[in-house]
Amino acid sequence: MTVSIDLNITKRYGDFELSIQSAIGNGITGIFGPSASGKSTLLNCIAGFENPDGGLITLNSKTVFSSRPKINISPEKRKVGYVHQHSALFPHLTVRENLEFGYNLTEKYRRIGSLEGIVYLLRLEQIMGRGVMNLSGGERQRVALGRSLAAFPDLLLLDEPLASLDLPFRGFILEKLREVSREWNLDMIYVSHSVSEMIALADSVIVIRNGMKIVEGNSSLLLNNSSVADYVDYGSFENILQGVVDGPVDENLSSLTIGDVRLITPKLALEKGKQATVSIKASDIIVSKYLPVAISAPNILRANISSINHSENPTFIDCEIGGCSLTAALTKQSVLDLGLRTFDEVYLIIKATSVTPMEVY
C-alpha cells in the first residue's frame, strides 16, 4: 500500500523549534540534515511517539494528528514501522520471538507475505533460535528490519539504520530496502547524513536544518546545491551500485553487470546470477577525454556527462553509461583543464581495487 504524507507541524524544545511543512510522495524519501536538525523528532511525530505542539499530519489522506480539531491516533494504530539506529531489539526475546511480536499482532488480511518469506529475504534462517544479545551489529539490524516488515506497515521509518554498520552490511540492507520498496510497494522515510546512501536509495530528499526545511527535490540535489555544501562530507562520497554477478574473470577478479555496463571487480563470493552491491568512491574515478591506451585499470567506460556541478569543490561530474549513472569527483582545475561540458563524451577509468564489494556471505 502506498502512502502519501502531508505534514504541517511545529514542535518546540526550549530554544529549538521544528517547523516543517511538506507533502511527501510515494517511494523512498530521504530526510537529510546535520545532527540536531530535528530529523528524529520529525520521525517521532509521524510515528506518534511525540506529539507536535500544533499542526496536522495525514497519512494516505487519513488524519493521524491534528491540533484543531484534536485528533491523535495512537502509535499502534498508525501502521507505521520504525527501525531505530541501534535496532532496539527486545533483549528478553529470541530472534524468532522478536519477529513474531508484530507479526502475531497484525490482522491476517494485512499480511501480504509470510514470516518465512521475510526470514529468507533477510537471510535470518541460521539465527532464528538465538538470543538477540549475542548478535553482531549487522545481524541485529537485519532482525530489526525483519521485525518491522513482519508487522506489514503502510509506511516504514528508518532512523539512520546503517550508521553503525560495516560496509558489507550497509550494502546488503540497502539492497533489501530497495527490493522491499519495489516489490511490496512500501513507502519509506529514510533519515541519514550520508549523501551516498541518499543518492543510492532515495527517490526524493528533504533537507532540514535547525528544524526548518531548506530544500527538497531529487536526491541528486545533494551534490549540486550550495545550501547543503557546508555540512556534507563530499570527500567520502561513494557511488553505490547494484548489479548481477557474471562470475570470476580469474582467481582474483570477478565481473559484474550493471545495466549495460560490465565492471571488473575484486573477486566476489556470490554465485553467478546473484545480485551484488558494490561501492566506488567518486574520488577514485579518473576522467579522460580520450580513450586511454596501455593502462593498467581494467574498467574503461565510455560515458556521457549529464551534469556538472561547478559550484563546489570537488566538482561532481554526473555521467550516464548504458543505463546506470556514475558520479566522479574532480578538482575545479581538472575540469577547466579538460574543458569538460555537459553532454561531452568521456572515458571513466576505474581500477578493480577501487570497486569495493558490499556483500554479506
Partner 1 sequence: MDLGEQNLFNLILLSLQVAVTATLINIPIAIYIGWLIGRKNIKGKLILETLISLPLALPPVVTGYFLLVLVGREAPLGQLSRFIFGADIVFTWVASAIAASVVSFPLMVRAIIVAMQGVDTTLERSARSLGAGPLRTFFKITLPLCYNGLMAGVLLGFVRAIGEFGATIVVAGNIPGRTQTIPLAIYSKVQLGRDSEALNLILISTLMAIMTLIVHHWLTIRGSKKGTR
Q: In the complex with partner 1, which residue's Cβ is closer, 169 or 237?
A: 169
State the minimum distance, in angstroms, from the CB of residue 193 to partner 1: 20
Residue 62 makes contact with partner 1 by CB under 8 A: no
State the minimum distance, in angstroms, from the CB of residue 61 to partner 1: 21
State the minimum distance, in angstroms, from the CB of residue 286 to partner 1: 43
Residue 91 makes contact with partner 1 by CB under 8 A: yes
Q: In the complex with partner 1, which residue's Cβ is closer, 26 or 106?
A: 106
Taking the C-alpha atoms of 327, 328, 330 and 335 in order, what is their torsion angle to the nearest 10 degrees? -80
Taking the C-alpha atoms of residue 324 and residue 131, their distance in angstroms, rounded to an integer, is: 41
Residue 106 makes contact with partner 1 by CB under 8 A: yes
Residue 86 makes contact with partner 1 by CB under 8 A: yes
Q: In the complex with partner 1, which residue's Cβ is closer, 146 or 314?
A: 146
How many residues form the binding site for partner 1 (CB under 8 A)? 25
Q: In the complex with partner 1, which residue's Cβ is closer, 11 or 213?
A: 11
Which parts of 232-291 interact with partner 1 (CB under 8 A)? none
> 30, 48, 55, 357: which one contacts partner 1 (CB under 8 A)?
48
Q: In the complex with partner 1, which residue's Cβ is closer, 138 or 171?
A: 138
Residue 82 makes contact with partner 1 by CB under 8 A: yes
Segment interacting with partner 1, rule: CB under 8 A, options 7-15, 86-94, 260-268, 269-277: 86-94
Residue 46 makes contact with partner 1 by CB under 8 A: no
Which parts of 144-203 interact with partner 1 (CB under 8 A)? 147-148, 151, 153
State the minimum distance, in angstroms, from the CB of residue 166 to partner 1: 18
SS (H, E, C) the chain: CCCCEEEEEEEEECCEEEEEEEEECCCEEEEECCCCCCHHHHHHHHHCCCCCCEEEEEECCEEEEEECCEEECCHHHCCEEEECCCCCCCCCCEHHHHHHHHHHHCCHHHCCCCHHHHHHHCCCHHHCCCEHHHCCHHHHHHHHHHHHHCCCCCEEEEECCCCCCCHHHHHHHHHHHHHHHHHCCCEEEEEECCHHHHHHHCCEEEEEECCEEEEEEECCHHHHCHHHHHHCCHHHCEEEEEEEEEEECCCCEEEEEECCEEEEEECCCCCCCCEEEEEEEHHHCEEECCCCCCCCCCEEEEEEEEEEECCCCCEEEEEEECCEEEEEEECHHHHHHHCCCCCCEEEEEECHHHEEECCCC
> 1, 56, 71, 88: which one contacts partner 1 (CB under 8 A)?
88
State the minimum distance, in angstroms, from the CB of residue 106 to partner 1: 6
| Binding region for partner 1 (CB under 8 A) | 47-49, 74-76, 78, 80-82, 84, 86-88, 90-92, 101-102, 105-106, 147-148, 151, 153
